[in-house]
Structure 1
């Protein structure tokens, strides 16, 4: 991925002007659609499962199918934007994402919905790396920080209201609107994006590692299938073993490809830094835990506790509010004391919150059974998310920030993908039927998920030494809505920044 200077091919935008406000609206609308998709769909899972006849494995694939292609193609999406033009790739991604959302909304069967979700992930892989990069490339230098700050704040607001919107849509017009709600936002994004000057990276390598992305899909898809089917079919089932073998061979091919490709998706130099490797292990574990939590809690509240979709969607509101009000302060604290204490304490708080949330059963009450866990979970998120993002940026040289943050984004998505694929099945959730058995499996799954967070704390405590926080961390806000790190405001996939 290139690291050159952004070169817009038109007049730079002024934030206070009409064109500047329209441009900001385009980027925010695209970001909001992604944010909403990450929260609204989880709330809709029980309802769509009832209508389409999906079991737990089917619901897992509604989530993992999207993450599969997003994780595999997001680095390629950033490279395409650098070379072909960020506005062009942004528009293609928005249209693609919108058409896939429409197909999700009208899907008559579960297989059609799963295909649509896979296509939706491809669109998001084009849209995500360019939505914020357009702001950084399109606005004059004096307005960029304010534009990025507005983008982050409004995007975080979309993530905050997402569960509420999802619950209202599911209880009202129906679960299909959890996907169709994206369409007006994306229409605004496409139309308004015309005011952006086109921008490219003059140093971008014209060679794209399409083969690398294809091998990533070929590794992750059969691995995900094997992990979801193994508990039910048996780990020695010939098809499960065959899928695992294909995944291993494809993963080996991916590694070889990255070593030999002229323009690899993952340059070896980014993993030459020990701190960067450790931070990506922490990212993988934590975002795996977050993926399972966001998947299971709203399902458990609706299926076992009998809550409405709206009630389930707003159950974790304390965590979202804490993220919105505390992320910037957490980033500033890490800049003063270093990130290591927060990268140990934060995951432990998340683990404690998950253990408390495991108490949700058929008689669950919000005040006693949900709120305490939600608060601890939210405090954990506030404690670790911003320092983790800033530490990733600070663990590599300035010239590698864009590439490193893109890799970290892909690692986060992959962590969520594999954790959602494996934890429910290992806990027995995929093969249970009665309410009591479902609740028992849910408890086991949440404890396993808490174990992922504890493992992240241990890795941070043992593996991190003098990791520094990126200089821009004082401006970083990293909203968590079930989707991981947001794009680098300077160029391609990375962490969102704003205060």
Structure 2
């Protein structure tokens, strides 16, 4: 195990009381995570307007979404570990400044390739702010009720960014698509100023080296994997290019694992990937994000493009998901303290899967109150378990690997969700498409994709349930602490 550590300036806060400065730090980190999530989902509503004004083809527009995912998912693992090794405060401030500048540049350019480049840079910056922000929280709040409360608030903001993206996207696109790029700029600048004053100073690792070869291999492998996944629906899953890219990515991952096993100070201590709670949390977040983004993608296409709903009407229809996320901020930490993370994750994903199955009743003239709303509410319950997933993933992880654990979890979210969405896209585009297809024919083409999204959620629920199967426990470190157990302050 590597002995590198990033030392924090003060002992972590417990649940006895938080100072205004600590609250300010937490809210600042929450706002930045909200922007990260917002940028993933908000751009979707603006794509038609961008394509019309800049005369971009559909294949080019796709890269405004894929470019962000490429930078975000491809560098998350490196981003989390870099924060551990070089200092969390420094990495966070630099990445947030880059995010603000890239947002401003995106609002000013009028070229498709340049716009895609700004999206990639924003994704790259988010790959450093997201895991760094999470590790700042887990090293400044003691494990137990204090950390559960802080992580619940933090992750609710992240989930809120994803779920509220359609609403903000619809409002901003009404003013002009450039406002979807401008909106984050003043917020990011204000957060940057606040972070300079509120984030505690920490020191880079005093010992240990930098695994340059491991960083190059892992980053290249992740970038190639994400690129291959997002281009596969267009070029073909069985094309020479796709299969060759997957083969090269696998070879790079094998080389990375070989390096990590031999090097004295690895970028990733492979033993962390054997921790059951981190593995289950990663699978749960893939099921949550992958199923939801696939469902949202199909719903947007069907209701907006086929049935003619306006962006604002669509945003308001899905608003209950965001409201449930906000409401969960007031109860999620208390639920975790009382019941533990496992039961909450299991129940919320099961309810979410039921919501997807209920949504399959949709027809060509869906009634909102009796058909859409019940399904939307149940699907929104899935996001109530989002804080519990983050708590489970970082529980019992040493301070010097909190950034790594956060990177593993969020890489699972981005790359896993991208793979699920790519498969969903392949499913719904494999049917016959004609310009004069009626809504019933379009819905028949989309229905297998909706069933696949439901299936992903069901698999996630089954994995969560597997934690309760009778088995021999190997050691204390693999067990979650009892919900009401007395926990010592981490130091």
TM-score band by shorter chain is 0.7 to 0.9
In structure 1, list runs of 5 or more residues that go unmatched. 475-489, 492-499
Shift of 1:36: 2.5
8 Å Cα contact 1:358-1:442 kept in structure 2 = no
* Deviation by residue 1:332-388 (Cα, 9 ceiling, x = unmatched): 445544544444433232222223445556534432442121111012332x33333
**RMSD over equivalenced CA pairs, Å:** 4.0
Identify the residue that residue 185 of structure 1 maps to in structure 2. Answer: 187
Shift of 1:124: 0.8
8 Å Cα contact 1:2-1:82 kept in structure 2 = no
Whole-Å separation in 2 of the counterparts to 1:179 and 1:429: 33
Shift of 1:400: 5.3
Counterparts of 1:95-174 in structure 2, within 5 Å, are: 95-131=97-133, 161-171=164-174, 173-174=175-176
TM-score, structure 1 as length reference: 0.79
* Deviation by residue 1:197-216 (Cα, 9 ceiling, x = unmatched): 65224646553344444434
In structure 2, list runs of 5 or more residues that go unmatched. none
Identify the residue that residue 270 of structure 2 maps to in structure 1. Answer: 268
Identify the residue that residue 406 of structure 1 maps to in structure 2. Answer: 407
Identify the residue that residue 445 of structure 1 maps to in structure 2. Answer: 449
Further displaced range: 326-335 or 370-379: 326-335
8 Å Cα contact 1:205-1:263 kept in structure 2 = no
8 Å Cα contact 2:352-2:382 kept in structure 1 = yes
8 Å Cα contact 2:92-2:129 kept in structure 1 = yes
Whole-Å separation in 2 of the counterparts to 1:133 and 1:234: 39
TM-score, structure 2 as length reference: 0.80
8 Å Cα contact 1:57-1:228 kept in structure 2 = no
In the superposition, relative to structure 1, how do residues 373 and 109 fare at CA in structure 2: closer, same or farther (>3 Å)? farther
Counterparts of 1:411-450 in structure 2, within 5 Å, are: 411-428=412-429, 432=433, 434=435, 436=438, 438-450=442-454
Whole-Å separation in 2 of the counterparts to 1:348 and 1:366: 23
Further displaced range: 308-317 or 59-68: 59-68
Shift of 1:95: 1.6
Identify the residue that residue 6 of structure 1 maps to in structure 2. Answer: 7
Q: 2:388 aligned with 1:387, yes or no?
A: yes
Whole-Å separation in 1 of the counterparts to 2:225 and 2:238: 14
Shift of 1:140: 12
Further displaced range: 197-206 or 159-168: 197-206
Counterparts of 1:199-210 in structure 2, within 5 Å, are: 199-201=201-203, 203=205, 207-210=209-212
In the superposition, relative to structure 1, how do residues 22 and 270 fare at CA in structure 2: closer, same or farther (>3 Å)? closer
Identify the residue that residue 373 of structure 1 maps to in structure 2. Answer: 375
Shift of 1:72: 2.8
